[in-house]
Amino acid sequence: MAENGENRVSGGGSAEQGAPRRARGGTRTGGGDAGARGGSRGGRGDTMRRGRGKRGDRDKPREREFQETLISVYRCSATVKGGRRLSFGSLVCVGDGKGRVGIGYGKAKEVPGAFQKAIKAGRRSLKRFTITPGGSIPHEIKGRFGASQVVLIPAMPGTGVIAGAAVKAILEAGGLTNVLTKVYGSTNTRNVVKAVMDALEKLRSKEMTESLRGVELK
């Protein structure tokens, strides 16, 4: 019996020794280290949330550097063995409103793809021209391409851009606000647009003219 009691006592001792182990295990799972880790993770989460907020502020719409205007859309069809194969072309003008403008033409199977191609082509072909502080041109000029001729005439402030849809889109994209225009000959949109670009490239300021002639203009 004593031996059994001793055995029981020893068993109880082993149980008592196991209790601290369980307590230690509990400390490991729910102790201060884990709490500290959780707190640090929570802190990281707060910083990430703050960062997301800032990133959201960055995603706010900003002013566009260039103004893209769709002038016209063309539909092309090619007759093949299986029927007709359609494609679309778009003519776009791109400008910054400060004396730079360019035109681009793109062609694709869908209209959005053609529009994107035209925008890229227009940005590559940007050209700078002379513009007065009043939003007009320094002198009268005539541009020509093919059978189309375009005359640009300076106007007083408040006049506006008196022109057709294609010519007006290019002039406004370049930053002109007071100009009179007249088209002679062919009214084909592509030719008229290229004639306008030819006229804008020929513009010269007073300083440029004085340097080329070697004189001082009154």
Of the pLDDT bands very low, low, confident and very high (cuts 50, 70, 90), residue 23 is very low
Of the pLDDT bands very low, low, confident and very high (cuts 50, 70, 90), residue 63 is low
Do the beta carbons of residue 195 and residue 149 sit within 8 Å? yes
- Whether the per-residue pLDDT at 68 is higher than 70: the answer is yes
Of the pLDDT bands very low, low, confident and very high (cuts 50, 70, 90), residue 30 is very low
- Whether the per-residue pLDDT at 183 is higher than 80: the answer is yes
CA distance 97 to 174: 5
pLDDT for the residue numbered 205: 86
More confident residue, 106 or 39: 106
CA distance 101 to 194: 12
Length of the chain: 218
- Whether the per-residue pLDDT at 31 is higher than 50: the answer is no
- Whether the per-residue pLDDT at 164 is higher than 80: the answer is yes
Please give the average per-residue pLDDT across 44-65, as a whole number.
Answer: 53
Kindly report, residue by residue over 76-129, the tens digit of the pLDDT: 899 998 899 999 999 999 998 888 999 999 999 999 999 999 999 999 999 999
Contacts 24+ apart (CB under 8 A), 162-169: 164/192, 165/71, 166/71, 166/72, 166/192, 166/193, 166/196, 167/192, 167/193, 167/196, 169/69, 169/71, 169/93
- Whether the per-residue pLDDT at 44 is higher than 60: the answer is no
Q: 15-29, 92-106, 155-169 — which is least confidently predicted?
A: 15-29
For residue 155, the one-letter residue type is A
Based on the number of CB atoms within 10 Å of its own CB, is 94 exposed (0-12), middle (13-18) or buried (19 or more)?
A: buried
Give me the DSSP letters along 36-56.
HHHHHHHHHHHHHHHHHHHHH
Beta partners for residue 128, in sequence order:
100
What pTM does this model have? 0.67
